[in-house]
Amino acid sequence: MTFAKKMKILVLLTTALAIAGCSSPSKSKEDVDAAAKTQDPAKLSLEAGGIPYGKRIILPSRIEAGILTLGDGEQVKYWFKSHHLGDDLGCTRFEYSDGSVDYLEGRFCCEVLLPDPRIADRNGLRKFIADNDGILP
């Protein structure tokens, strides 16, 4: 086999691996977004959650939905899909009172468990998300 032919094969293999390594949005992220469109935790009967400043419900899809009340009084809606329900890290969607959204992939295993004492405010929650995003549950 000539050097040129070996180089062509190497380039083709490298390209194929690079394309295979490109990731699309996780299925869990798509699922929590879909749940957020159809299930508003503010309109559901919520129960005490895994943390004192949160209330939640487990939807028929097995996605956890709930509301967190931060130290400054802001209520943050969330939707969480466990990594046990798919083949990725799982995902939590946090929706703030102004409609802005943050995502946390991974970190939680079977339920949303945030630090206690209560997270003080949106900046504290965003710091928690940044520090824990992508961590294997």
Q: pLDDT digit string (tens) for 86-110?
A: 889 999 999 999 999 999 999 999 8
Q: How far apart are CA 99 and CA 88, in angstroms?
A: 26
Q: Categorize the per-residue pLDDT at 19 as very low, low, confident or very high, splitting at 50, 70 and 90.
A: very low
Q: Categorize the per-residue pLDDT at 14 as very low, low, confident or very high, splitting at 50, 70 and 90.
A: low
Q: Read off the pLDDT of each residue in 24-49 and give the average, rounded to a whole number.
A: 92
Q: Which residue has the higher pLDDT, 105 or 50?
A: 105
Q: How far apart are CA 95 and CA 97, in angstroms?
A: 7
Domain residue limits, the chain? 41-137
pTM: 0.81
pLDDT of residue 44 exceeding 60: yes
